[in-house]
Amino acid sequence: MARLSDNLPAWLQTVAGSFMNMRNRAVAPKGIPRPSGDEGSKLLNLVWQQLAQNRRWPTFEQVDRALYRVGIRFEDAVGQLPQGLLLGIDPDLQHRPPQPDQAVQLSLAGAAHCDDTATEIKAFTYLVRLAGVIERDWEPGLDDPSAPSQPYVDPDVLKTHPAFDPGVLPPAEAVYRAALLTTYEPWSSGLGWRSEELYWRISFDRRVRPFATVANFVEYWNARTSVLDSQSAEPKSVPSPLACEPALVSAPAPTPVLSIPLHPEVAAVAAGRFENGQYTDAVRSAFQAVEHRVQTLSGLSEVGTKLMGAALGSDTPKLVVTRATGSSLRSEREGFRDLFKGAMEALRNPRSHGPHFADNSEEAQEMLALANMLMRRLDEAEAKLGAQPEAVVGTP
């Protein structure tokens, strides 16, 4: 295996040299989980084809209907997939069925079993090795609050990094899909993406070091297996110096990495600011957009918490952002009213009127996720407004 200090352009040529060959299925390494039947394989291929066509992971409803048209039950296909190939779907379909708009994703292992993914798998190997080089040379901007808090790679880094050679990389579409496969890998700490622009940004930390010298998919999978095996082999208990019996200590649970697309109205005002490191401004702009949309949909001119109370707070609110019925309706209505009001008081106002401590990347992402949720509930409120019958003049 090559050393990290080897000549970078040389390994770049080795990793990417076959990118221009005909695309086909990647060679799945020994030990990788595999579908147990043709229907499971067809499900994986269908998800991949829809990603390639639409630049985003398909929803459960899209996948379910596409399988139905060719005579395959989604439940039967999922039953042929071992855990870890298909993401976003609870294995207990009987008690926790997926929602229609729930995204269905493939893991790296799932994509490895799809037709026409060899180029993306090679691009993935290139990205993880380049991430190792970047992490090695990373210098945190401790005195610059706007500097990224973690090393990252995105299309701009590819174009400017000394190891980059545009002649050996696959098309941007393939690199984009390869980036999406990093979401649940053990070295990735976050992924942002915008399908319309084929933009992606992978964040990572020191966990990428065991993968820094892999030259192909087999080497990557072997390193991955070794890392995960070492984590699972860590002792689950330690002796207690204060008791005769050992005190059990739970192993730390794996930290899930969430990746969600920004709502279009949040992305329009916040995405560019976030990518430029203007995290506080991105958050402020996102919640100003939420406020403006509530004004527009409700027809009210108030601002801030007064606006949210007037639009969402009564038994007959102007905007219905709730889904519950029966005895839970009032609780959900009041809860969302308070969420909207709290977003104005705690998040928008301090950033609009200042002074305010600078937000870092992780905090900004958490707050943008809340803006996302509020915007999606406003989508539902707008749909309900559109479904109301128009008033007829002269009717009581």
CA distance 360 to 368: 12
- How large is the average pLDDT for residues 316-339? 92
Contacts of 134 (CB under 8 A, 6+ apart): 151, 152, 153, 157, 161
- How large is the average pLDDT for residues 241-254? 40
- How large is the average pLDDT for residues 124-151? 81
pLDDT band at 236 (very low <50, low <70, confident <90, very high): very low
Q: What is the pTM of this model?
A: 0.57
Give the pLDDT confidence score for residue 355 in this predicted structure: 58
> What are the pLDDT digits (tens) for 273-292?
887 778 888 898 999 999 99
Give the pLDDT confidence score for residue 196 in this predicted structure: 80
pLDDT band at 12 (very low <50, low <70, confident <90, very high): very low
Higher pLDDT, 83 or 393: 83
> What are the pLDDT digits (tens) for 183-196?
889 898 877 788 88
Tell me what the pLDDT averaged over the chain comes to: 81
- How large is the average pLDDT for residues 28-37? 86
Give the pLDDT confidence score for residue 21 in this predicted structure: 39
